[in-house]
Every structure is written in C-alpha cells, then in structure tokens.
Structure 1
C-alpha cells in the first residue's frame, strides 16, 4: 500500500483546452429536451470550463485527502483513506457508481470524520472511498462484474486495512457491489446502507397480486426504459464502440455523462464545478470506456443475489430515478432503518452532503 499524490500534467491540460476550443458543434436537432443534452447547455459547460474553472481544482480537491494505491488479486486499486477523529471509530467504505466517481463522497468526509455523540460517547468513522476497478485511478485489467468487485472490496477492507467488521454504503453500481459484499461476507458486514437498490426485476416481472406501490414502480420504470435507458442498452452490448469517440472528444464526454448529471440529480443541485470535476476525472484517467464495460459484465454474467440478512438501512432521496417499492425492500432485506428524504436525487452525497451524512449517522445509531 503506497500513499500517492494526484498530478495532472500541464501539457495534458493544454491539449484538453485546445480540444475544447476546437469543438465542431452539431446542429440542434429539436426543441424537445428528451432527445439529449441541449447544445446550449453543453456550450455553457465548455465556456465555464475554459473561462471560469480553476484547472487545478481537481488536483487540489483530491490531494487534501490521503490517497493510496495497492494491488489486490493483481488489480491496482486506488482509494481515499481518512481516519476518524473520535476515540471510537467505525470503518465505513463508500462505493460510487456510474457516471460518477470517488467525488460522489468527498464532500462528506470531514463531517463523517468528526462523527457524532451517542449515549455519552463520541463516535466517528474511518472513511474508505475506493475507485471501482476500471474507474478513475483504479486500473482495468479485465472485465469485472459487481460480485467480482465485491470480492476485491472485501479484501481491501479485511486483508489490506485489517478490519474484521465494517459498514458498507453504496449507490448506483456501488449499491450492487455493496449488496454482494453483504450477501457473501455477512460476518464482516456490520451494516449495509443503500441509497437505491437497482432495477427490481422481480417486481417488473410480477403480474399477479401487484400492490399499489409496485404498480407505481412498474409505471415509473416503464417510463425510464422508454425515455432514458438507451445508454444502458449500448453500454451493455457495445461499450468498445462508444469508447472511441468519448475517449477522444471532451465535448462528447460532457454530453454523454453530463446529461445524466442533469436528468438524474435533484433540481439544480449539482454545481457546474461538480459536473466538470467529475468529467475531468474521467478524461484524465481515460476511463470512460473501461467504466462503461461494467454494464456489459453485469448484463451477461452476474449471478442472482437473493435476500440479504445483514442489518440494512435504506435512504431514499425522492428526486432519484425508479424509487423502489417499500414492500419489496422490506421483503428482501433485514431492514432496521428506512427514510424518505424530500430533497436530493441519484447522486445523493455530492448533491446533499449534510442530508447524506445525517442518514449514515441515523442508520448507524440503530445498529450499534
């Protein structure tokens, strides 16, 4: 395990700047916003990046934390590792998804390190935020699915950092990885915290005895698949084809993943700086193709999960996509904490860091 410093070369910054300035803009196709991210929106992002963005901001932000790299099963893994400030600390691994990154959770590090008071005791968290293999600074050696990444994340916590028990929290793909960790390593998972539970196929395939909340879910899911799931279909089948354009054109990258930041987050909750930092991280690490590949791996060879016995907390942010039915969550998880929060979307911790921190603390109070 080696401590590292994040550094982006000045030549690379100049090359990116030149590419942004040399963009060959497409014609606007429609005034219907459903056809993709509007040309005017992408131009605003590019203009901010060129004229108002601090090109050193990403490095400064990441380097205020302790960054490490290690090898697990011949796979290079990058992670942020910050120790809690209280005498009593609880290890907490936070798992991001697509198209976000470790930046999903960096806004909550300080508050979680400070911790909380409970029953007269000061308790805080040791924070571990890994880049999923194929994302960011974690290299891509071969395609891995959620279950295989769960094995690597368990070894990171148990063998590399020597934690016998820990809490895992995840959203999006990170939610899937966290659930496989809880299923496979129940003796080590002190608690499982989720901000979503993925696509609930059991409910979508259910035809008899459908409850009211399941019916709402089926309707919302149908709308999502009709209007929003094109990215999922191509990333699950032809990620290599997409990778050429997105890896070479920063504006293509902005439009492809930036659209998700706008359509999946809560109302105006992601700042321009947040959006650019995430896109810049994908650009610098050349990881857009390798990150998309996880959709192919999960679509073609991910084993069925089943019910989970670990103590589980679910925090639903009501502006998220495809909110799962409570009846299903209750039937599949050992649910000890559930809350619906009226503000925030899919990228919970980066959109609403204080609300997310409170959810982690409130869940943990139920299991300690």
Structure 2
C-alpha cells in the first residue's frame, strides 16, 4: 500500500496533516512524528520507502509519553498512597476484593446467576466455567436451625446475615478514613431442591432466548442488577434502627403471611447491616491498641466510634454520613452478588451538603479535610473492579 505526501510551498515543513493514504499507513506515519523539510522540487508523490528513508535520516527528537494515570498534584499524601495501593493489584496480595463465593452446602446449590451478565454476549461461552468454578470454590456457611422450613425471602435474609456476621472478612487499610473493604460476593440462592429445579429450567430458557437475540444483533439481554438508586437520604436520616421501627410497625399490621415474611426478612437485613458495622468498630479498636503513631491512633478511635453509631443510628456529621453511605452502598453489592458498576449513590451533592455545611459552621471540619474524606470515599468504589482482577 502506498502513501503520498501533499506538496507544500517552498521551505514549508511537512507534518502529520500532510500524510495522505489509507488509515493504516496514516496512523503509522503520524506516530513517527513530523517529516523533515524537503525542497520544493520534490515530486508530488513519493513511495513509502522513500518517506521512511528520509525520516530515518532525520529522526524526530524522542519524547517521553505522558503518564495518563498520574495522580493529581492536589491529592494529599494519604490519598496518593491509597490511590497507588489500589492500582497495585498485582502486588497487593494482602488484600484483593476478588469475588468470594458462599454456599449452603446442598448438592443442588447455585451461587452464580448468568442472567446478571447477559449484557456481555462475548462472555457466554464462559458461563458454565464461571458457574462451576465459583460453586466449587464456595465456602459452606453453617445455617441456623430450621433454616429449610422458612420461606425463600427469610432464607435469603438469614443467609445474608450469617455471611455478614461471621464470614465476610473485615479489613481496614493503613491510613484510610472510610472503611469497608470486602464486598464482591457470590451468595447461595438458598433454594430447596424443587426451587432449584424450577430455577434451572428458567435459566436454560433464558439462555436460549438470549443467544437467539444476540445472534440477531439485539444484545443487552440480561437483567443486570445494580442499576438503581437506593434511598440513601432516608437511611442517613433514620438509620437502620429507625427503618427497622417502621418495618416492625408495618409487620404488626400485615395479615398476609407472604408479606409478613418479606418484612421479617427486611428486619433481619437491618440488624445484619448494623452488626457488620460493629465488626469494623472492633477491628478499628484492635488496630488502635497496636498503633504507635498518635495521629493514626486517634483516627482509628474515631473510626471505631463512627462504626458503632452508623449505619445503625442517624448520621450527624459529614464523616458519619460518608461512612454510613459507603457501608450501605457496599452491602447492596454484597446482597446482589454483583460488583455494581451501575449502582448509583444518587445526588450526594444535595443530600450530603447539610452535613458538610453543619460541620463547617460548627468548626468541626474545614474544606481540605472534607475533600480528603470525599476522596477516601470515592476510592472505595474502585475496588468493585477487583472482582475479576486475575481473569
């Protein structure tokens, strides 16, 4: 394939815009840099080998590529280090938020939902491998007495509670101000044998239909979780204790057994979320006892205080609101067994502003500290992408 150069006026240099030809050659020549000046008597068209010969005779000065992923100079030293820690997935063997499967121990158990990934048709050929490998790796969760006598909503809630209170690891990274690390899960469907048979029939039907639609070019055939905005302002205003009080009032008035079970399941989840935060409070207290740096010890003690309070109780400060928001957000991802790129915190600029404004007015916070807290909060979201970090 030949490329040509447009003739320029005498003495004019030829740059990237002078290269004419098909895309492959244009992009290659443009990558090499500007062409050196040539006399006006140069023929209108030169063979590609001649262009390259001239360029090799006068190579452009080498330029170091810009580091697209370099940290902003405005980041604090703490946030820079936490940011670099996230990007060090390959060497971060002390913490990776990869998917953690938890099973019920039954022979018919399932921990993975293919329809959650139906928007990725190129992954269809791997679906069976994903299902089988996660199920084989699943940690069996001890179940409470009479577990299989309960309805499906209650079984799901009880299983979720067991995972949060006893199984999901608790990790506080050095220097972080917003805590809550492991949230990528693959939780058991907690089906009975009969429910599992029905579910598998439905999944097979969905896969056949999705395959046909994707071959027709329709695509996006999955029911992807996470594409929602939970009512986080209500959680911040009431805390899970306040939400539980409303649910309990609804349960007392409800006469339908199925609806009562759903309300009971929601109550269990409210308590599970609060107990999970208590585990982080205990970990912060443990680390504070061992910490030799006075400033970091004070931060850990404050973290423990906040985790004892939220999300169980209403948030009152900007730091409490951010921590309650992150706990709630990550627990939605735990419950859905999906890393949640589509899960949105909503208009945090609106519903967090009163906490920020109140702290500024009371002298509890300045703009720089608020910015650092926000940056620590946003860093936590990135860890959703540890889900398949080594796939």
Instruction: Give the TM-score of the pair, scaled to structure 2.
Output: 0.25
Query: Between Structure 1 and Structure 2, which shows a larger proportion of strand residues?
Result: 1
TM-score by length of 1: 0.26
Rg comparison, structure with higher value: 2
